[in-house]
Amino acid sequence: MCAIAGFIETAAGGPGTERAESLSRRARAMADRLAHRGPDEAGAWAEGEAGLAFGHRRLAIIDLTPAGRQPMVSASGRFVLCYNGEIYNAEDMRRDLEAEGHAIAWRGHSDTEALLEACAAWGVEQAISRAIGMFAFALWDRAERRLWLARDRIGIKPLYWCAQDWPGGRGLFLFASELRALEAHPGFRPEIDRDALAAFVRHNYYPDPHTVYRGTRQLPPGHLLTVAPGKAPEIRPYWRLEDALVRGRAAPFEGSEREAIDALEALLGDAVRRRMVADVPLGAFLSGGYDSSTVVALMQAASARPVRTFSIGFRESAYDEAMHARAVARHLGTDHTELHVTPREAQDVIPHLPEIYDEPFADASQVPTFLVSRLARGSVTVSLSGDGGDELFAGYNRYAQGLLFRRYTARVPRALRRVLAALIRATPPGAIDALFALLPESRRPRLASDKLRKLADILPEEGDSFFRKLTSHWPDPRALVPGALEPETVITDRGAERIAPDFIDRMQYRDILTYLPSDILTKVDRASMAVSLEARVPLLDHRVVEFAWSLPFSLKIRRGERKWLLRQVLYRHVPRALVDRPKMGFGIPIDAWLRGPLRDWAEDLLDERRLREGGLFEPTPIRKRWQEHLTGKRNWQDSLWTILMFEAWRRHKNGPHAS
């Protein structure tokens, strides 16, 4: 795992060693802003005549010798690679290159060299189509003076870019693993994008390709970007989730249930084993849920020694999964490390979130994700994660809710649903909680009144508006960001109905394209990289993703049991009794903290005068929700956290202005 940064400056051309050295210093300064992603080594490379420079920070995982240094020049001298990620079938690619007559004198055994020589021999598009891995890289073709940027299929690794003053293909082109590296270039102009801000307050993250800054973009997952002399940047896909969905539905899995379980276990087992290759200590996050437990079970099955596992717990029982993780670890025989975090320790992380996440990001589980990453980094350099199972195998509550919604909205008139929603809203939260308290604790949902009120918000909805409302923290961003024109996303794209006619398929499709890369994977990447820990996600091996789309829905949700097929794989390794329980999520009691120890911090950030002076938000709806939250009338923790994280970031950046 590493960090990359670089640029092309065409305004001031001319060859010469002096110019190359100047460009290298600038690229190195950009990369040094990302030292947390690569603390082991720094490197830079430049070509003065082209005005191009690469900067690199290395976290050495495979081949710890100087043979793995970057930027790396190909054996032919034609190509230069600046790369972040891991290619898990690098040895297979080496053998294929040699078998096809592309043998070279390998300088080491790094996956960097395998990827570089594959690009040189097969071309960029074929090389990454044959690769299994997570990556974001820049490749310079010295002969054609063409720059290639590529991002992995699912968006596990980040890649930002911008082209400033680029008419006719001249000006400044920048790219980096994080925005802070772009900010280190003297030519970069950071201007807050009000339109993208509207999307942020709706979702609590920036959906790609949008970012906080106008004119700065994320390269979408599964895409290539090319920059050639005299041309504007061109972007095209090399892999599309749409194609995987259509192929899967056109040729569905037709084997028996047992054959489906066998096939998934074999595929996941291979994905896990490939991600266990490292020249540094390796472990796994373990929450005790289905996804992480499956990953750890397959790791332990493939390992001759106990796997290192890590979990954190909280004193608040409603948020504490440590006991479940401990039970799974004991059954599997892992070398388990557990840390119980006090509220003070968790709250101490919050002032550092703008620095850790670099861009406004407002999923409150960012706090425990950072804490468990920091815990793991004390013992290992690589940790496997169970992320992706909910999206692939229909694990989120909203998929089950979507089934009920689809089944009953046709039967219940919309007017009656509006009346029912009004009754729920009129019921005091305490009364709702008291009603749910009559249920056995094992079946009692966390934040019951809040969830029921969210149900009231979506009851009157029709069709796809159900999903948008369900995933919106602020359903009307224009009321918060006056004058903003919220950009369209795949969530609002009616073309998704053609790609995925089934409503639940469509929900999963949209989640994998938006929520998964822009929220879940962003959260894990920034939290782990902040402590120089590489996180690997075997459930998001693209072969697993493609297989999941071939599965009939009955193998995903059966009799209300979500992730049915994935559970069957896990049950072969772990007894049901250790993992079957209501879904908790990975959260912290932000609602209570905002009314208690974080109240002064939040009040300062939500101050009406300061919000107006900031010139971005209309304070009235924000202040209304803040007061309702303080009085306990509603739990607005998620929507308030969105504003708090943006304002904390803006102060951290010393208040960049809006465009």
Count of CB atoms situated within 10 Å of the CB of 527: 25
Cis peptide, bond prior to residue 71, ω within 30 of zero: yes
What is the rounded CA–CA span in Å between residue 404 and residue 460? 14
Count of CB atoms situated within 10 Å of the CB of 250: 8
Count of CB atoms situated within 10 Å of the CB of 658: 15
> For tokens 């979130």, what's the residue?
353
Kindly state the DSSP code that residue 521 receives in the 8-state scheme.
I
Beta bridge partners of 72: 81
DSSP H helices in 363-461: 366-377, 389-393, 397-408, 414-426, 429-436, 448-458
Is the separation of the CB atoms in 167 and 179 below 8 Å? no
What is the rounded CA–CA span in Å between residue 389 and residue 283? 19
Amino acid at the residue 153: R
CA–CA distance from 441 to each of 135, 444, 446, 607, 659 (Å)? 43, 5, 10, 39, 51
Report the number of secondary-structure helices (H) and strands (E) in the chain: 31, 17
Is the separation of the CB atoms in 553 and 249 below 8 Å? no
Is the separation of the CB atoms in 520 and 471 below 8 Å? no
Beta bridge partners of 164: 172
Which residues participate in catalysis according to the annotation?
Answer: 2
The token pair at 61 is 């995982």
Is the separation of the CB atoms in 198 and 486 below 8 Å? yes
